[in-house]
Structure 1
Amino acid sequence: MSIIYFLIGCSVLLALVFLGAFFWAQRSGQNDDLYTPGMRILLDDEEENRVKK
């Protein structure tokens, strides 16, 4: 029975660590712009081809 208490404690601690990491990412601006990185991948090849020609 004591192992269940240990596992519950570990899972709560792990959940708090992930919650802290999520809030840290939000404060540091990790999710501010979700649109531009996807578009940048599509536009990089065109810009490199223009420079090389």
Structure 2
Amino acid sequence: MSIIYFLIGCSILLALVFLGAFFWAQRHGQHDDLYTPSVRILLDDEPREEEK
């Protein structure tokens, strides 16, 4: 039965780590550019030199 308490504690700790990483990413502007990824597929890439 004590293993269940250990696993619950580990899962709460892991959830707090992921929550902290999410807030860190928000604070450092990781989700600011919402436009570029949606149009990147529409832009043609220039062929590399060895492909010409």
| Same fold? TM cut 0.5 | yes
Q: CA RMSD in A?
A: 1.7
- Structure 1 runs, 4 residues or longer, greater than 4 Å off: none
- Cα distance in structure 2, aligned partners of 1:18 and 1:32: 19
TM-score w.r.t. structure 1 length?
A: 0.74
Q: CA–CA distance in 1 between the matches of 2:3 and 2:40?
A: 50
Aligned partner of 2:35: which letter? Y
Q: Deviations over 1:1-50 (max 9, x none)?
A: 1011100100000000100110011011111112212202311x1x637x
Which residue is 1:48 aligned to? 46
Q: Which has the higher helix share?
A: 1
5+ residue gaps, structure 1, are none
Question: Distance in 2 between the 1:41 and 1:28 partners?
Answer: 25
TM score, norm. by length of structure 2: 0.75
Where do 5+ consecutive residues of structure 2 fail to align? 48-52
The aligned amino acid for 1:8 is: I
Distance (Å, rounded) in 2 between the aligned partners of 1:19 and 1:8 = 16
Identity of aligned residues (%): 85
